Chains A and B, each alone.
Chain A
């Protein structure tokens, strides 16, 4: 098959599906969302494991000498800046491949692995390295 044949066929790709999309309906929904002041979702950052390590170090720094508010709870435990709320669904390995930083505390406080002290955090990181 020649390149021109592929290009000719490409013009028809998606045409059938696109015809089912109603511009007026889409316009109405977009304007409705804009009118009610809906904002863009919080930006997420996907990090490799080194990213988690860096985030963990930053958390420890904040917990030990930083502002001392926000992620720290009264017992001194440190909530990592990592949303692990999907652990129940996807497992630790997959969650570590898709971390979300800067989430509000309410998103991770209360989750089993979401709050830990520095020793526990170090243990987790060591296990990851292994």
Chain B
């Protein structure tokens, strides 16, 4: 399928592209938003443990976002909002997968490197250990940590995207960092 391309020279901001999609289902606007934010959303979902499902989940996140665009109120940026939709899609996927997967206790306790290709390539490296520990954080702590530390988003926006308060987001971040420090210093995973 040929992807619509905006008119040459057109460099619209996200709000204008979203307005175009809302108003008339402008597919070129939708495609431009996807192109613009795919890499960031992919990095966020990969960090959250999406692994080989990353591309499918990125696609699903954008699809869901456009289908419920009327619920985006601008409290968070479009990109951050799509990331949280992707996190929910990942949660749905894991829930479905877990139903059909029976892990032995030994397998559950083993470090999980399935979702982290970097971890497989540079096992023992600090970044790989941190990536594995991030995947094991409780979902809210994981999402807040990634949005803050990986994506550099302000707490105010993180709170809006995750439907929580700024104070609660700070607390989640604090707990996430504490767990990660323990995992890194203790040599085991969070």
Contact = CB atoms under 8 A, between A and B. Distances in A.
Given A17-B51, A23-B34, A28-B1, A6 B177 contact: yes
A35 interface: yes
B3 A27 contact: yes
Contacts of A12: 118, 127
Contact of A39 (B67, B100, B149, B177): B67
A interface majority secondary structure: helix
B181 A6 contact: yes
A30 B150 contact: no
Q: Could you say which interface size class chain B belongs to?
A: 35 or more
A130 interface: no
Interface stretch (A69-77, A86-94, A99-107): A86-94
Given A13-B127, A13-B150, A21-B39, 8 more contacts: A13-B146, A14-B45, A21-B54, A21-B55, A22-B38, A27-B3, A31-B27, A34-B63
Interface of A: 1, 3, 6-7, 9-35, 38-40, 86, 89-90, 94, 98
Task: Give the top 10 A-B pairs by smallest Cβ distance, nearest first.
Answer: A14-B46, A14-B47, A17-B46, A10-B149, A18-B42, A23-B38, A27-B34, A18-B43, A13-B47, A21-B42
5 contacts: A13-B127, A14-B44, A17-B50, A21-B54, A31-B4
